[in-house]
Structure formats: C-alpha cells, structure tokens
A and B are shown apart, each in its own frame.
Chain A
Amino acid sequence: MTATPDTVDVAAVSAAPAAAPRPGTLRTRLRALRRNRLALTGAVIAAVFVLAALCAPLLTPYDPAGPDFDAALAPPSWAHWLGTDDLGRDQLSRVIYGARASMQVGLLAVVLAFLIGVPLGLAAGYYGKYADSAVSRLTDTLLAFPFLVLAVGLAAVLGPSLLNATLAIGISQVPAVIRITRAETLRLKHLDYVGAAIVNGGGDGTVLARHILPNATSALIVQATVGIPAAIIGEALLSFLGLGVQPPAPSLGVMLAGAQPFLGPAPWMAVFPGLAIVAATLAFNLLGDGLRDVLDPRGGTR
C-alpha cells in the first residue's frame, strides 16, 4: 500500500469513467449487485422459494395433509425424498407448502406494514409538530413491546389462523417502517430540489409522492428485505406455539413443533423444515445486505 499509491489511483481514476457509466443508475446498481456473490446467492435462493411457493401444487408429489399411516416415520427414500412424519405425510410436500405459507406471510405482512407505516411516516416527517408528536408517540408505544410479545398477544386476541398471524406480524413491523420513512422524509424535505418543487407551487401530495417517496425507496427496499425474514421467523414461531397455521395444514413452524418428540427416532422430521427456515431467512438477509450496500448513497459501491 505504501509502495506506489499514485500509479494505482491514477489507473483506477482513468479507467473508471470508461468502464462504468454514471454511478447511481439502475444499471450500475444491478451490476454491483451481480458482483456481490453473497447477495446473488441470496437472490437465487429467495427466487427458488418464491417459485416453489407459487407452483406448490405442481411441484408436490403427495397431498401435504393426507396421512398414510403405513408409511409413518419413514426415513428419506426415493418414494419420499425428505422422509415422512409421524402420521406418514410426505415431508417434501409439507416443506413446499410450508414454505408457501411462510412466503405468503412474509410478503403480506411486509406489505401490510408498509401500507400502514409509510403514509404515517411521511406525514410525521413532512408536517412535523403535532402530526409528528402523535405518530412518534404511537411508534414509541408499539416499540415498547418486544416483537414476540406483541405478535403473540395479537395472535392470541385475534384467534389462531394464518390470516391473523399475518396481521399480527404486519402490525408488529409497523413502527420500524414509520421510523425509517420519517427519518428519510426529514432528511429529504430540506434538500434544494424539494424546496424548488414547493416554490414551483407543488402541493403537499405532489411533493410527497413525486419528490420525497421515490427518493426514500432505497431505504424502504432494504427495510422490506429485513422485514420479510423477520416475518418468516415470526410465522414459524407463532405456528410453533399453535397460534398460526392450524393442523393439518402444513407450516414450517407446525412441522418443527410436531417433530419435537421425534428428535431421537426421526431426526429428519425436524432437520428439513429447520433447514428450510434457515435457508429462507438467510437468503432474504443476504439479499438485503447486498441491496443495502448497493443502494446506500453513503456506502457507494464496493
């Protein structure tokens, strides 16, 4: 590093404009993402999960809820790639349908959190004063409850079902979304182009929708990729506790709960749904990490 820093820098600077177009465009960002191997792996695995969830009925060899008592607790084989559970249900089919439930909750919960959180965050950040105080106190109140307590409490009050688990997880993610949107809005609203838009006679709606929200998207996308794995784990957790998906419908959490007594005699019952949860959350986390590196204006490209 101490040897010839000058020549290296010169080469890099002179090569840069020729090789890469203007930094910050979509193409540069995608290219940067492609160069990040970990993020790419994450993206591929995440895509596999989304595809599996979409095409579950086409992919599964057996009815995920249909027991075959003669084949109970069969280890992995050609007939059952991931073995069967204590009631003789095909584990592969159940993992695929379980992943579907996970994806469903993961995406829907985040969408819900954004539908509630983004408008509130924008209002708080843009209007300040009373709007900000009201929204921020609401956020503080929600944040005072740990995620688990809030989600379990909501699921217990609403009653156990997949939809209610989604609602519970979505609501428990709202405060994070509000905070991030508010912070971004606060930062953006003092920038010159926003001022220019206001001077040009743009109404609040126009300014928020055309100038502030689009520029806050990178932070929000990163938040979404963090929210999805959190929601997947949340779903597995609520189902594990009996507050999410109800049997015989498969869910990764329900499968793990059912596998507990069989850890010794039939470890495959716990290992595969466990691996699926690990893979899904890891994939979205890696993707999120990569996206943050690429989208964060302060970090630049690595």
Chain B
Amino acid sequence: MRRTAAVPLAVGLVIGAAGCGSLTSAATEVGGVRMTDQRPVRDGGTLTVALKSDPDKLDPTLAQTLVGRTVFAGMCEKLYDTDRAGKVVPQLAAALPKTSDGGRTVTVPVRRGVTFSDGTRLDAAAVARSLERHRTLPGSARATELGPLVKAEAAGPYTVRIRLKEPYVPLTGVLADRAGMVMSPRALAKYGKNFTNHPSCVGPFKYVERVAGDRIVLAKDPRYYDADKVHLDRVVYKTITDGSVRLANLRSGDVQVGDQMGPVEVRSSLTEPQLQLFNSPSLGYQGLGFNIGNVHGTGEKPGKLRTVLAREPRVRAAFALALDRKLINKVVFQGMYEPACGPVSPESAIAPGAAGCPERDLPRAKKLLKEAGVKLPVPIELKVSTSPEDSRLGQVIQAMAREAGFDVRLRPMEYATLLEETDAGQFDAYVSGWSGRLDPDGNIASFVGTAGAMNTYGISDPVIDRLIAEGRTTADRAGRARVYTQLADRIRDQHALIYLYRQKNYVVARKDVAGVRVYGDGLVRVKDAGFAR
C-alpha cells in the first residue's frame, strides 16, 4: 500500500524538477538552411541514429517508408543520387544516362570494380535483374514509377539498356531512389521474397541484424569501393517514436543523431550546448486523404464506396474549407513549417506556378454541406499515427471541422498498422504525407494516378491520368511546369487528398558528430559521418 503512494510522489517530484529546469531556457531562433558540417572526423566508433518509426521491409522493391530510405542510404546505393543542390549525380552509374530513339531508349553506364556486400560483382546484368524485379514483382511499390519501362537488359558487361513505351523524362530522378537500388543477384536467387531479412547491396555499410521494433545494425563493409572514406565501424538505427524521447536520448548521449525532430523538440534543443541542428526544406507534403474508392486494395482498380465522403465531393470540399492551414502551422508546428496546398514543393526540380491556397471559409463549407443534403453532424473516423504531433494535428482538425458540422473521431494507431489498413482501404480519412521526390512526377503519379502503387484514396480521374502522362513526356521545363500547375489544380478539385503543410527536415545531432548530411529529400546520410577529432 505504501509503495503505491510512493509512485505518484516520485512522479510529482520529477515533474516539479522538469518544471524548474525550464526557467533557465532562453529563446533562440532556428538559423538558415544547414545541411552538413565539414569538420574532420576520426576513424572508428558506433553511430546511433534514432528514427521516428520502425522501417518496413528492407527490400528496395517493396519498401514504402521514409525511415526505410534512411536505412537504405547507409547500405544500398543507387544508380544515381541527389546532391545538396538537389541535382542528380551518378552513384553506381558511371555517368548520367543517354537517351536515343526519340527518348524511347535509355542507356546507363555502370561503374566498374564494385562489389556487393556478399562478394558478388556489380555488372550490367545485376542492374538489369534488379530493375526487372522492381518492375514485375507482385506487390512492388516501384511498379508505378517504372510503369513506362518495357524491358531492362544488359547491352554489354557494363552497359544497361532500358527500353520505354514512351519518352519518360522523370526516369533519372526515379533511378535516384529505391528503383535505382541494385540488389545482389546471388542474394536474390538465394532468398527471393525473403531478401528483406538478408539484404545485400552495394553500400558503405552492410546489414548485420534487425530486431523488429527496436533496431537495425549495420557494420562497415570492407568490400565497399570507397571504403577508405568511411570512418564509422557501425551504424545502429534505433526506433524511438516519441520525439521528446528522441530528444531525451540525444541529451543523455544514448543516441547521437535524431531523425525527423518536431518543432517543439527543435526549440528545446536550441538551448542545449551539446546539440547541433541540421535543417533543409522538404520536397514532400503532408495532408490528409479520404477514401473515395479504395475497395479492392491499393494499386487495384477503384470501386464504388457507399460512404458519404466517397459519394459527395461537396462534403469533402466542405471539410477542406473548414481547415485553416496558417493556424494549423502556428498551433501544431509552432509556425516552423510552411502551409501547403499542392503536391509539388517550391524546392522541386520543376517548381510549378504558385498554387492558389484556399483560405478557410466556414460559411461556404456550411453551405456546401446544406446543398449536399447530408445529415449533420457528418461522422468521420480520422486515422492518425500515435505520435504526439499527429495527435495534436488530429485534435486541431477535429476542432476546426466541428465548427463546419463534422464529427471527427480520432483513431490513433501504430504507423505500420496504419499503412497496412489504409493500403487495404479500411479507412474514412487518414493523415497522409510524403517525404517527396526531386521530380514532381514522384510526388504525384503514384498517389493520384488511377491504380497507382500508393493511391490509397482510390482516386481515378481521366484528366489527371492524361496530365500525368503529359508531364512525363514533355521535355521542356516551362512546358512541364505548366502541366504540373494544371495537375495541382485538378487534384485539388477532387478534394480526395488535401494538402495541408510542408515540413522542414530537422535533424538534431550531438556536437561531437560531424559529416552527417541532410538534404532536401529528408534522408540522414551517414557515409561520411564520424566523431569529430
């Protein structure tokens, strides 16, 4: 009995102590963009990176999450990579691709003298095999972005020829992501779909072990072609979902790098002398998606749903009009992100014209609901992840929508489960975001194209499909920019995917860590990282 009394007492003391600690803090401002630091580093050491959620499959063909890409950045190199200016540069390819045959044939030269972590040599056949797997494996999350491919084949020992149905301008950008990752052909032959548990690629670090829900361990790969420049012995990716816990672990020194830090944590980290902040503007977007036709699962042809949301675009439009983006940014994110109304970031390779950001308009929202003739309040279940930030966002959306006549129930769920259920179409609405790609097509086609690989919403619109195709085949930049502006408007008018805000990539690291790189794609690149001398 006495022990039960001691527990709340201890809690009270801790809370009191934390409260006093804040008295010493001072307001400091986030500086400008800072992507890396160049201090020299010593060899050796284990770097622990805290990730916001547990990565999904460690198979480049099937993987879907941003945290997964961060892990891949340590162990799976791609044909191309993005540099700090957001330009595509060769990585496992020897040079940028050459197009011929009116854009229908693309030739990629492959880097020589490269070995996979399992000792197999990298050649054109290995690249072609990986590309074909990305394109054809059932359930591939790369299928949409590689949709225009007819065949990838080895045209010589170190030359890959890719044949396309039609010209496909975004291809280079696509090959600078998971679709450009090359998997060891021996590992593929041996493990097949189980590659996720024995991944083997070309990378500065190789896979050692994974404890689901807790950590992924990588070790320096002595076979890596650029191994002299790799300083760390090991990299451990630890899953810590709660941002304040990530920060507490950074403070204590248990982890050295904290991925995807939220605005509140960034503000507190600024007052800590032993921590440093990296930040870059995001290429992605965050928002919420409605289920308007996902009946058979994502990637399948949409069907008819009987929910009010699916039947009535006016109800969805009313919901969108009930939300105040500026206020969401101010209240939920301390004003440290940017309101957003379209899929394409101004930082993108091809920035579209400024999309008109609709202001909050309650009277119109109410009028639309009246015209739709629905019974008020309209019940909606909004699925959010369990992160405190999502919970706050959900509650703000809930409060704003209530004023228009919606009864939003929040359903917090673990992120991987959330992805599973939304993929299967088991949702009314969910908080949905994308870390972003350099090419605008990477932010659009998979999500809103009919039966796109990540079109969880069941959107199917002939105009959108036509514009996507146009964007892919238009070669000149001004023309593409026009197409994507039209696309953004058309997507907005569907009111199925409502863009709300654009994040900044905030990564907090301990001061003794140097060489970590954080570019616009939001990944934490650890190849050059190490502990400062």
Q: Is A226 close to B, CB under 8 A?
A: yes
Interface string of B2-36 (1 = CB under 8 A from A): 10110111011001101101100100000000000
> Residue of A at shortest CB range from B409?
A246
- Chain B: minimal CB distance from A86 (Å): 6
Contacts of A233 in B (CB 8 A): 4, 7-8
Partner of B1, one of A261, A274, A289: A289
The answer to whether A258 touches B244, judged by C-beta atoms less than 8 angstroms apart, is no
Kindly list chain B residues whose C-beta atoms are within 8 Å of the C-beta of A226.
1, 4
Q: Does A59 contact B (CB under 8 A)?
A: no
The 9 closest A-B pairs by CB, nearest first: A267-B19, A261-B264, A278-B8, A274-B15, A278-B12, A285-B5, A264-B22, A263-B18, A67-B399
B299 near A: Cβ within 8 Å?
Answer: no
Contact A265 B388 (CB under 8 A): no
A158 to chain B, nearest CB (A): 15
**B331 in complex: contacting residue of A87, A257, A263, CB < 8 Å:** A87
Within 8 A of B (CB), among A61-89: 66-67, 69, 72, 86-88
- Least distance between B7 CB and chain A CB atoms (Å): 7
- Find chain A residues with CB under 8 A from B412 CB: 160, 242
Could you give, for residues 247-271 of chain A, a 1 whenever the CB lies within 8 Å of some chain B CB and a 0 otherwise?
1100000000110111111011011
Collect the chain B residues with CB atoms within 8 Å of residue A248's CB.
395, 398-399
Is A230 in contact with chain B by the CB < 8 A criterion? yes
By a beta-carbon cutoff of 8 Å, the part of chain B in contact with chain A is: 1-2, 4-5, 7-9, 11-12, 15-16, 18-19, 21-22, 25, 242-244, 262, 264-265, 267-268, 271, 327, 330-331, 386, 388, 391-392, 394-396, 398-399, 409-410, 412
Most buried by B among A264, A277, A292: A264
A-B contact pairs, 30 of them (CB 8 A): A67-B399, A69-B330, A86-B331, A87-B396, A160-B412, A226-B4, A229-B4, A247-B391, A247-B394, A247-B410, A248-B395, A258-B391, A258-B392, A261-B265, A263-B18, A263-B244, A264-B18, A267-B19, A267-B22, A268-B19, A274-B11, A274-B12, A278-B8, A281-B5, A281-B7, A282-B8, A285-B1, A285-B2, A285-B4, A289-B1
- Distance in angstroms from B408 CB to nearest chain A CB is 9
Q: Judge whether A264 and B399 touch: CB under 8 Å.
A: no
Docked Cα-Cα span, A39 to B362, in Å, equals: 55
- Which of B271, B331, B394, B409 has most A Cβ within 10 Å? B331
A residues 157-176 with Cβ under 8 Å of B? Answer: 160
Complex CA–CA separation, A163 to B271 (angstroms): 42
- From A229, A271, A281, give the contact of B16 (CB < 8 A): A271
Question: Separation in Å of the A93 CB from the closest CB of chain B?
Answer: 15
Which residue of chain B is the closest to A280 with respect to CB atoms? B8
Report the minimum CB–CB distance from A266 to chain B (whole Å).
8
Q: Which residue of A lies closest to B263 (CB)?
A: A261
Could you list which residues of chain A lie within 8 angstroms of chain B, going by C-beta atoms?
66-67, 69, 72, 86-88, 160, 226, 229-230, 233, 242, 246-248, 257-258, 260-265, 267-268, 270-271, 274-275, 277-278, 281-282, 285-286, 288-289, 292
Given A69-B327, A260-B388: A270 in contact with B264 (beta carbons within 8 A)? no
Contact residue among B5, B12, B15, B268 (Cβ-Cβ distance under 8 Å from A265): B268
CB-CB under 8 A from B391, the residues of chain A are 247, 258
Give every chain A residue within 8 A of B2 (Cβ-Cβ).
285, 289
Which of B22, B25, B394 has most chain A Cβ within 10 Å? B22
What is the CB-to-nearest-CB distance from B53 to chain A, in angstroms, rounded to a whole number?
15
Q: A248 vs B408: C-alpha distance in the bound complex, in angstroms?
A: 10
Please pick, from B4, B331, B395, the residue contacting A281 in the complex, using a CB distance under 8 A.
Answer: B4
Kindly state the separation between the CA atoms of A288 and B5 in the bound complex, as whole angstroms: 11
Kindly list 13 other residue pairs between chains A and B, CB separation below 8 angstroms, not including A69-B396, A265-B25: A226-B1, A242-B386, A242-B412, A247-B391, A247-B394, A247-B410, A260-B244, A264-B268, A265-B267, A267-B19, A277-B11, A285-B1, A286-B5
Give the residue of B25, B243, B409 whose beta carbon is less than 8 angstroms from that of A264.
Answer: B25
Docked CA distance A286–B412 (Å)? 37
How far is B1's CA from A226's CA once the two chains are assembled, in angstroms?
Answer: 7
Q: Given A264, A274, A289, which contacts B21 in the complex, CB threshold below 8 Å?
A: A264
A286 to B19, CA, bound (A): 27
Residue of B nearest to A288 (CB): B1
- Pair A67/B396 contact, Cβ less than 8 Å: yes
In Å, the complex CA distance between A156 and B22 comes to 35
When C-beta atoms are compared, the residue in chain B nearest to A72 turns out to be B331
Partner of A87, one of B242, B265, B392, B410: B392
